[in-house]
Amino acid sequence: MNDDIQKKNPVYSKTDSTKVNLIEEEWKQILPEDVYYVARMKGTERPWTSKFEDFFETGTYYCAACGNPLFISDTKFESGCGWPSFYKPVNDKSIIYSPDHSHGMKRTEVQCGRCEAHLGHVFDDGPAPTGLRYCINGVVLDFEKAKDANKKFEENKKE
């Protein structure tokens, strides 16, 4: 992750699952402008602009606002929609869902389960096994490459 973010953001943690409740003014101070715009103002990044759109390293994607684990690279797929897409979150604490009827559409908004950052939307046209497509703004994702130990673990499982 970006070191600047970590220094400025006291709630960022990949291990603490306590819910984060900050007022908007506090978020504004600790988040970079582009992250704040998507996470707190429910903005949408332009399609095809995310560095994670065409990116298939092995590792874990965390919430860029609070560090909550959201998705693992195994569940990422090429959706062609212009935003990083996944078919399953890490666990049931990763995501919260709410109906979104803005822009005259019926969609389901997905937010970070820890800090309620807006992440994107989930659609039901994804691949097996879930049939879901989590369409996520890359700017609110923070990627960490799998450590060697994890890789070995995965390799052992396959044998």
Selected range binding Zn ion among 29-37, 110-118, 120-128, 149-157, rule: CB under 5 A: 110-118
For residue 63, state whether it binds Zn ion (rule: CB under 5 A): yes
> What DSSP assignment string belongs to 25-70?
HHHHHHS-HHHHHHHTT---PPTT--TTTT---SEEEEETTT--EE
Token reading at 114: 């820890």
Q: Is there binding between residue 118 and Zn ion (CB under 5 A)?
A: no
d(CA 40, CA 143): 20
**Can residue 66 be called a binding residue for Zn ion (CB under 5 A)?**
yes
In contact, 142 and 70? CB cutoff 8 Å: no
User: Using the rule CB under 5 A, is 114 a contact of Zn ion?
Assistant: yes
Q: Nearest distance from residue 106's CB to Zn ion, in Å? A: 25
Interaction between residue 141 and Zn ion (CB under 5 A)? no
Residues 6+ apart with CB under 8 A from 9: 30, 31, 65, 66
Question: Smallest Cα–Cα separation from 71: which of 16, 138, 26, 123?
Answer: 138
Q: Does the footprint of Zn ion cover residue 115 (CB under 5 A)? A: yes
C-alpha radius of gyration, the chain, whole number: 15
Choosing from 31, 38, 65, 95, the residue that interacts with Zn ion (CB under 5 A) is 65
Residue found by looking up tokens 């005259």 in the block:
104
Site string for Zn ion, 38-57 (x = CB under 5 A): --------------------
**Does the annotation count 135 as an active-site position?**
yes
**Residue selected from 50, 68, 85, 137 as contacting Zn ion according to rule CB under 5 A:** 68
Q: Least Å distance between CB 114 and Zn ion? A: 5
Q: Please give the positions annotated as active site.
A: 135
Site residues (vs Zn ion, CB under 5 A): 63, 65-66, 68, 112, 114-115, 117
